[in-house]
Structure 1
Amino acid sequence: MNKPFPPLFVSHGSPMIALEPGGTGAFLQRLGRTLDNGWGRPAAVLAVSAHTTAREAVLLAADRHEAVYDFGGFPPALYQLRYDAPGDPALARAIGQSSGVPVYDHGGLDHGIWTALRYIYPDADVPVIPLTLTPHATPAQLMALGERLQAVAQQGVLVVATGSITHNLRLMMQPDASGRRLPEDAPERTESAAFRRWFAERSAALDWDALANYRSLAPSAALMPPTDEHLLPWYVAAGAGGRTHAPRRLHDAVTFGSLGMDAYAFGPQAAALADALADPLGAPVQEAEVTERSQRGSRGSAPT
């Protein structure tokens, strides 16, 4: 490791991203390459997702974490993909001791975690330590939780929070004017664009008070995330980065007209990561290459 890792928030969108990477899958693949080149491999990924919830924050310290198929109604091929990563019980206990977060010997990677990590680290060779989300906590409480985890970057741990910057499945499933289901590349709704723009602007302005009170201040806040859980992981990663440096939006995208796929970095290294990703000399990752690499990683991570 060359320097501490910037905590990250990435939008995972539909579970189908695991089969159809699109632009966000290509971004996540390049993100992994950029981290490898500039920061090295992390000792572990501390992952918090909208889909692993509990009444309190706990760290999961299994020796091995298998992919969990916590969804239904998708093509059979999606359930054949594997992403089974090692855990690190000793490191989980060390993080728990330093942060005051309880540790349990349970395992499993929900789809918000493994569909993102299969592009960032396709060989499933980086240990993962899941952190449960408390979905009824306030943004301020989750930022405070993240602040208790600031030291993990100094231990070579990469915090990856996953959710969706905007998430309204009802809007996504609405038919278009001809009665057909919205395509993935449908034009973005004005409400989605306004919400995502507000979030990026308040982040750049270091307006933590506004961000913590997005429900009452952000445009179309009741529509774009009608429930909080997919946005709440953002605040854990933000807290882990600290309040001194402005969050940087690394990826600006939307699918199905209203499912925001934005990604953010936090903390002192956020700007350096944003600059590295924007470097025109960095080779862009093509979608076909992303698919091939992620399939190779899935085959390689089957349990033994």
Structure 2
Amino acid sequence: MNTPLPTLYLSHGSPMIAIEDSPAARFLDRLGPVIERTFGRPRAALVVSPHSSTRQPFVLAGARHEAIHDFGGFPAALYEQRYDVAGDPALARQASRLLTEASIAAPAVEADGLDHGIWTVMKRAWPGAEVPVVPLTLVPTASPAQQWAVGAALAPLAAEGVLVIGSGAMTHNLHRFFGLRGQTEGTAPDVAAFQGWVRDRAAARDWPALFDYRRQAPSAAQQHPTDEHWLPFYVAAGAGGDTAGVRIHDSVDAGVLAMDGYAFGPQAERLNQALQAA
């Protein structure tokens, strides 16, 4: 690749995104092909998800990964989904070194498996498992600024053809989502306000405000009763460097579950334009 890849924050929302049709699912279906046409096929994807949380970050160095069905109460068709994909042990060790050099202890461990925050987005974007995957665990107690530092340490990977992805959800109040599903038309005003605040602050590179989102963003606690699905945003942003965040997708499920996607880095707008043209 002649240019660094953009880094991405992608909303997976519910694991049903793996099998349901929705604007966010169709966006992910387009994303992989557009990335390949615009930049070439990524060497690998390094993905952090809220569903693999640990007290310190670990990089999974397994040679192969399979989908983990880490959820309950969903239709049988969802449990029949598989995603068998290559890992990249050498990349896992490289990521571990980069983090260690940034004073972030993150051992590479001989472990495998993809939680649903990883395999659902990868299966939609690359259904043939063409891109190897390296999972990075999330430390949910780390602050947004600390998550940014994790991403910043991994920034050199983007120039080496590695797609750094934070998988989560733009808003993630599941009690509200399941209570309103099928009953809400349009987007709830407070959800739209939160989406707009993030869009504007990211475009302005106002990282101090974004780090302090819990106090400054409108109705932040309503959108994220707990913030583990939001924290991967900062890993992706940090890996993109001190550049504006570009919203590359926005949609809302059931009026309350925002499914926005963001790109970061010097090539973020190029990806956005390619997606709009696709």
Q: What amino acid is aligned across from residue 253 of structure 1 in structure 2?
A: S
The equivalences for 1:64-83 within 5 A come to 64-83=64-83
Q: What amino acid is aligned across from residue 250 of structure 2 in structure 1?
A: D
- Comparing 94-103 with 249-258, which one deviates more in the overlay? 94-103
Aligned partner of 1:43 in structure 2 is 43
Q: Distance in 1 between matches of 2:22 and 2:177?
A: 17
**Contact 1:139–1:232 at 8 Å: present in 2 too?**
yes
The equivalences for 1:256-295 within 5 A come to 256-279=254-277, 282=278
Secondary structure of the structure 2 residue equivalent to 1:8: strand
What is the percentage of aligned positions where both structures have the same residue? 52
2:151 pairs, out of 146, 155, 158, with 146
Q: Distance in 2 between matches of 1:50 and 1:92?
A: 18
Q: CA deviation at 1:6?
A: 0.5
Aligned partner of 1:241 in structure 2 is 240
Q: CA deviation at 1:27?
A: 0.6
Residues 49 and 84 of structure 1, relative CA distance in 2, 3 Å threshold: same
Secondary structure of the structure 1 residue equivalent to 2:221: coil
What do residues 214-267 of structure 1 show as CA deviations (whole Å, max 9, x unaligned)? 000000011011111000000000000011x20000001100111010000001
Secondary structure of the structure 1 residue equivalent to 2:222: coil
Residues 165 and 151 of structure 1, relative CA distance in 2, 3 Å threshold: same
Aligned partner of 1:133 in structure 2 is 138
Aligned partner of 2:20 in structure 1 is 20
Aligned partner of 1:292 in structure 2 is none
Q: Distance in 1 between matches of 2:183 and 2:92?
A: 38
Q: CA deviation at 1:186?
A: 3.3
1:158 pairs, out of 144, 155, 163, with 163
**Contact 1:185–1:255 at 8 Å: present in 2 too?**
no
Q: Distance in 2 between matches of 1:57 and 1:83?
A: 23
Q: Distance in 2 between matches of 1:71 and 1:258?
A: 21
Q: CA deviation at 1:96?
A: 1.5
**Contact 1:186–1:255 at 8 Å: present in 2 too?**
no
1:253 pairs, out of 251, 254, 264, with 251
Q: CA deviation at 1:95?
A: 2.2
Q: Distance in 2 between matches of 1:208 and 1:52?
A: 25
Q: Distance in 2 between matches of 1:109 and 1:3?
A: 28
Secondary structure of the structure 2 residue equivalent to 1:223: helix
**Contact 1:55–1:134 at 8 Å: present in 2 too?**
yes
Structure 1 segments of 4+ aligned residues over 6 angstroms from their partners = none
Q: CA deviation at 1:131?
A: 0.3
The equivalences for 1:166-185 within 5 A come to 166-175=171-180, 182-183=181-182
Query: How high is the TM-score relative to the length of structure 1?
Result: 0.87
Q: CA deviation at 1:156?
A: 1.0
Q: Distance in 2 between matches of 1:36 and 1:263?
A: 18
Aligned partner of 2:216 in structure 1 is 217
Q: What amino acid is aligned across from residue 154 of structure 2 in structure 1?
A: L
Q: Distance in 1 between matches of 2:269 and 2:110?
A: 36
Aligned partner of 1:189 in structure 2 is 188
Secondary structure of the structure 1 residue equivalent to 2:134: strand
Q: CA deviation at 1:22?
A: 1.4
Secondary structure of the structure 2 residue equivalent to 1:174: helix
Q: Distance in 1 between matches of 2:88 and 2:123?
A: 18
**Unaligned regions of 5+ residues in structure 1, if any?**
176-181, 283-304
Q: Distance in 1 between matches of 2:178 and 2:26?
A: 25
Query: How high is the TM-score relative to the length of structure 2?
Result: 0.95
Does 1:89 find its partner at 2:94?
Answer: no
Aligned residues between the structures: 273
Q: CA deviation at 1:2?
A: 3.9
What do residues 146-187 of structure 1 show as CA deviations (whole Å, max 9, x unaligned)? 100000011210011100010001111225xxxxxx218732
Q: Distance in 1 between matches of 2:183 and 2:229?
A: 19
Q: Distance in 2 between matches of 1:241 and 1:122?
A: 25
RMSD between superposed Cα atoms in Å: 1.2
**Unaligned regions of 5+ residues in structure 2, if any?**
101-105
Q: What amino acid is aligned across from residue 10 of structure 1 in structure 2?
A: L
**Contact 1:185–1:257 at 8 Å: present in 2 too?**
yes
Q: Distance in 1 between matches of 2:107 and 2:10?
A: 25
**Contact 1:10–1:262 at 8 Å: present in 2 too?**
yes
Q: Distance in 1 between matches of 2:178 and 2:41?
A: 39
